[in-house]
A and B are shown apart, each in its own frame.
Chain A
Amino acid sequence: MNRVIVSVVFCTRWLLLLLCVMLLVSSRSMAEPVTGWFGFRGDGTSVAERGPSRLSIEDDSNRTWKREMPGRSVAGPIVIDDLVITTSSSGPSEENLFVTGVDLNSGAVVWQQQFRATGRPFFHPTGAGAAPSPVTDGERVVALFSSNDLVCLSTDGALKWVRGLGRDYEKAGNDLGMASSPVIAGDVVIVQVESQGDSFAAGIDLNTGENRWRIKRPPLANWSSPAVVRFGDGAYEVVLQSQQDVLALDAGTGETRWTLGEGRGTIPSPTVSGKHILLPGSDLLVMKATAPGETPVELWRDGKLAPKNPSVAAGRDQLYVLKGSVLLKADLATGDTVWKSRLSGLGATWATPVVAGNSIYVFDQSGIGLVVADGGDSGEVVSQVELEEGVLGTPAVANGRLVVRSKTMLHCFE
């Protein structure tokens, strides 16, 4: 009996040792949090901790690399640790669709997957087949294209699933292009596919690619992206705006949580910063979420802070709005304008401004990029770069680097 007890104790010690070894060599996700810029505007605010203080491609260049991509894009890149993900499209109507993983440090292509559009591939000349920005939860990458093809890959580029939303719902599509970027809330990816044809929003299971829910939306063109409100207990609400209304849904079930019966913009998207919900339209309406399921409280609205095409960047109790070539900073709680800066030489803009530390990065569709230094009560252009081609996708900031997608190239500044 003693021998048996001793054997059991001996085995247990070895098994514990084995367990320790397994834990030590286990996936880094158990020990190291995944960092980066996970979707359109990062965490939805377009604000990061730190980035380059200047941008140059001249003799004093701080562009660490640029990489030609297999096609065109107006989508923003995303970053997962040291991996940049970008989408592209090529071909006569840009039916060839690409998802490319690029090393953040070297710019080398790590992997690439290619697909073919199964939905309507058409778009306005300023657009591209690769228009919505991809999104990630740190383990999986989801890319949506203007053709309503939705692709899910692992961060190693391995295929998880593919949906053809334009095949499932054959009237879905806008021949001026679709551009709404998907978001992830928990284990659901939410897409907003609104057009004159089949118009809907859907929550798609991240693991299986099947619908968790799908709701009809107004049959009107809409290029704005959903935004996620995160509550402390793991509950998520997703906010959708259109020219008819604002709708907040339970991200997991699609059940309506609250609605606002007033139309908002169809190009800029809502921004969620903490519990502040910014809804751009003919004015900028700022509300504050209180609890899941409760209609947020209106804090203020101001027509002077309505953006044109780009969405609003908001964080650290401040917000930044780009109206044409004028950049404004305002107080998030009150809407009081802190400063206004006229950005001379800036052309038409589509990319949302990105804030890192006291630097605000603004790019126009000709490729001019500005760094505006926020001095507290004033904003001043401290650096200007002119890239080789235009930028319409919102840049990413991660690990102190700025990653910019121009029409056919990816650039990294440090």
Chain B
Amino acid sequence: MKYAGIVGIVAGCTLLAGSAFAVHAEVKSSAERLKTGIAESVKPAVAIANDAEAPYCTPKFKEVLARVIHACGLEGGAARRGCQPADVKTLASISDDDFNALFTPLKDRGGVVMYDDGSEKLDDDGKKMLEELWVERKGARYFFIVARASKTGTPDFNRSLSHKRANSAFFHVGDKFKEPDLDKQVGLLWLGNEFAQLGKEYCEWNVSRKGKPCAAEAINRSAFVSWVDCQL
């Protein structure tokens, strides 16, 4: 019986020591792996949430956009809001046609809000279009309002008029949606009648006055508005 007892005790101690050793070794091994960390190459790459990046965001488009954003008050806490024709000409450093061509991919994303002659007042269709486009933001970071005026009248008058048109669209969005950081989302450009006038073919775009007469003069009494799905 003594022999059995001794064997039992030895077996018990062996099992206990073996179990304890195995547990200790595994915990220590985990502690070591915890300390050294998992290799970066083994870690799965996780994307970081970001603004949308549409195919039309070409380097040239983004370059112009970035210049406008920085120079026209959307970033950097600048006090001024918007860019006028002289600014845009300088900033964009491209011809009128090239400037307009940059916005061609936004044909389906944006719309042309049309105004009466010599007026900056939004009609109901214009307001509706603005509201509908605004809620279609998706992943876009910036909303652009590019206002124009027709050739009728002096450059100074048209510059001022297009500025008012840009503002009327901007204020309507602000009044309707009460966005607290609207200044940092909306880029205003007013081109008067001096830069990047639209051709009659733009009447085929998404215009606020559908089914109404549209000519080169009418299409320039407008503000082109669109979200821009580019990471800048």
The judgment on whether A and B are partners is: no
B positions within 8 Å CB-CB of A: none
A positions within 8 Å CB-CB of B: none
